[in-house]
Structure 1
Amino acid sequence: MNLKFFPESVPVRSGALLVMLVISVLMLGCSAREPIRLGFLGGLSGRVADLGIGGRDGALLAIELRNASGGINGRLLELVAEDDQQDADSAKQAVARLINNKVVAIIGPMTSAMAVATLPQVNQAQVLMVSPTVTATELAGTDDHFLRVIDSTTNYASRSANYHFSVQGSRRITVAFDLNNKAYTESWLSDYRKVFEAAGGTILVAVPFSSSDDAHFSALAQRLLEPGPDGVLILANSVDTAILAQQLRKRNAAVHINACEWSATERLIELGGKAVEGIVIAQFIDRDSQQASYLAFRKAYQARFKREPGFAGLTAFDATNVVLEGLAAQTSGQTLKSVILERREFAGAQSRFRFDAYGDAARDTYLTTVRKGAFVRL
């Protein structure tokens, strides 16, 4: 930057000039306001990094758009992202760093297991955590510092169970569920079981496994097919769902394969190929939406990151904007949580959603299938 403090024709002694330059720099420093820091917590490395990276980028886009319009009350915003590595101890350490960094709120985490692990910390520090994708039922109905912009597993599991029984005609189901995120998968399975069995269906066997590169998906597929089910339900991330679907299809071309919203990233289709064609998932994004706000968001995300936002990018964008709108409306003496819950209803990039008194949100749900290599609404 080329700054001139004096006309070139006016002689100034070098010592006096140095003093005045120092004073000017100090004054500029004093007038520059510290940025408002928001934290992000998600898995940015490892097996399920697509979920965390999509969430981080959705949050980053929301902040960049707000900064482009002047920030909040003249202050710019900064995202401080931490990798929880989908590990409880790593997540706790990451949250501690965010709290020490004096973030005003944390966007995340992206999985229920990490939310359960870190909730005591944010409650103690009274730092608001707003999750884009956590759905575990055990986190519902509690007055704490955890909010989420989607429904609990009850909604997605119930919609899925009704469809499997009434439309697919499935009566005998086997289930595989990942213990690495059991706060989510066990909650999902419990909600599903209630509805499916009440309708007259039977869950023949529910097989737990732990997600890892050396998980034995061939043996798992064999065990799931042994009882002769007419449907297999996979409660796992996108990578494991894709691999297991391929193993199932090698052995049975006719059995219905279904999954949960956790798996519904673009990577599921990329890795699963023909094996995931026809898979049915209840989720909280309609990728074919022609709503103007969604199209504008999708265009901005694609331009910035050169890929589709998916559900993680969409809901992280929404969660971040909830925090930003709350900060813009916050007055002296108000907590960020109280501002958000008093307002209750927010316009997301695709659909409106409404918080209840405990910070659990209700929003549109869409039954989708994979058809010709793309998610489409049923």
Structure 2
Amino acid sequence: MKKCMTWLAAMALCVAAAAPAIAAESIKIGVQGAHSGDLASYGVPSLNAAKLVIDEVNAKGGILGRQLELVAQDDQCKPELATSAATRLISDKVAVVMGPICSGATKATLPLYAEARIVAMSPSATTPELTAGGKNPFFFRTIANDNAQGRLTSDFMLNNLKVKKVAYLHDNGDYGKGFADINRAHLEKAGVETVLFEAVTPDAVDFSAVVRKLRRAKPDILVFGGYQPTASKLIQQMRRDRVTTPVLGPDGLMDEAFIKMAGKDSEGVYSSYPKDTRNLPEFKHAREAHVKQFGVEPGSFYYNAYSAMLALVNAIEKSGSTDTDKIIEALHTAPVKTPLGTLTFSKTGDAAGMGLSIYQVKDGKFVELDHSITLE
């Protein structure tokens, strides 16, 4: 009997010791994006933002009495890799996902996240159809969609640049062609002539054939739809061939890597991007955290990703749960202060409250111009 009592006491101690460990099980936050490859200059800043927010939350004791755990998956912005990355995150039982970052990868993964009933929030996927009609209730984003970007950029070209003839070159992807299509629709409705509309191969080495077409078309401006590696090569080819046509692109061009790759040929290029909010305390805090941890200024979409992480954490905390339905309700109803401003999310999942501006490369730096809109 004595031995039995001793054994029972020992078992009781084991159960008591295990109880706190069970109670303290971490909340897993998935982070999916291009953490390597050609578009890592977009994905790595987002991954850095996730690390910093999670570290800060954990240093303050976590949320709901639990620590956060980062689970990262690299998809290189390739749809075929994105589905595998999403499947792994789902298998890891993440509570929410920050990402993916590219529109094509996001489009490929949303059915998987919807089936698993997991909220995914992208800091940079802009294709309008991702949120159109609220058809993806588990998807949110902290970036302006291409409809908003197109409204801003086409209005800028019409009213500020007074364009009459426009050429469009795009990479034929969801993101790039979508941006070109939306601008074309707005501008043609206003009576602007389309003199060239053509796809280019993103990994092409020689763009001389399409540059010759551009020269013959004599547009007032070239609207480019795609990512900065392709834009850099195309613009360098244009300038080498003495084609001086001004260039305007989407937020994917607003990247220090673009200026480094294109060099002096980047001068004068226009792009859209979130409004400069550097005076906000939340922006200053996010910037200082990155500089302290990584020793350099943040890269593209860092502040969008930081805002997405804050929104997800805020929703879990406000809902008091990792239940997906409660998280979604909190995202729609609980405002959150972020580096981009105080955000809420519309019924379709688009961010409301952030601003969007036109920028131009001047003397090797992106400068915000006096032309912006606020998302509602």
1:87 aligned onto 2:88: no
Q: 2:166 aligned to 153, 161, 173, which one?
A: 173
Q: TM-score, normalised by structure 2?
A: 0.88
CA distance in structure 2 between the aligned counterparts of 1:221 and 1:346, rounded to whole angstroms = 46
- What is the 5 A alignment of 1:220-231? 220-231=210-221
Q: 1:142 aligned to 131, 134, 151, which one?
A: 134
CA distance in structure 2 between the aligned counterparts of 1:314 and 1:93, rounded to whole angstroms = 27
- State the 1:95 CA deviation: 0.4
CA distance in structure 2 between the aligned counterparts of 1:286 and 1:269, rounded to whole angstroms = 19
Match of 1:10 in 2: none
Q: Supply the RMSD in Å over aligned alpha carbons.
A: 2.2
Residue 163 of structure 2 aligns with an amino acid whose one-letter code is: S
Residue 319 of structure 2 aligns with an amino acid whose one-letter code is: Q
Residue 49 of structure 1 aligns with an amino acid whose one-letter code is: A
SS at match of 1:310: coil
- State the 1:23 CA deviation: 8.9
Equivalent pairs: percent with the same residue?
A: 27
Deviations 1:80-135 (A, max 9, x none): 11111222221111101000000001101111111111111111111111111111
- State the 1:358 CA deviation: 1.8
Match of 1:186 in 2: 177
CA distance in structure 1 between the aligned counterparts of 2:272 and 2:76, rounded to whole angstroms = 26
CA distance in structure 2 between the aligned counterparts of 1:232 and 1:171, rounded to whole angstroms = 12
Residue 349 of structure 1 aligns with an amino acid whose one-letter code is: P
Deviations 1:68-88 (A, max 9, x none): 111102211111111112222
* C-alpha contact 1:207 1:224 (8 A) present in aligned 2: no
Match of 2:304 in 1: 315
Q: TM-score, normalised by structure 1?
A: 0.88
* C-alpha contact 2:103 2:175 (8 A) present in aligned 1: yes
SS at match of 1:252: coil
Unmatched tracts of structure 2, length 5 or more: 1-8, 370-376
Match of 2:223 in 1: 233
Unmatched tracts of structure 1, length 5 or more: 1-19
Deviations 1:235-278 (A, max 9, x none): 12111111211111122353211111122111111111111111
Deviates more, 1:219-228 or 1:25-34: 25-34
Match of 2:264 in 1: 274
CA distance in structure 2 between the aligned counterparts of 1:286 and 1:85, rounded to whole angstroms = 28
Deviates more, 1:220-229 or 1:95-104: 220-229
- State the 1:338 CA deviation: 1.8
Question: In the superposition, relative to structure 1, how do residues 372 and 23 fare at CA in structure 2: closer, same or farther (>3 Å)?
Answer: farther
Deviates more, 1:119-128 or 1:54-63: 54-63
The 4+ residue runs of structure 1 with deviation greater than 3 A are 20-30, 331-334
1:210 aligned onto 2:198: no
Match of 2:238 in 1: 248
* C-alpha contact 2:101 2:125 (8 A) present in aligned 1: yes
- State the 1:28 CA deviation: 4.6
- State the 1:360 CA deviation: 1.4
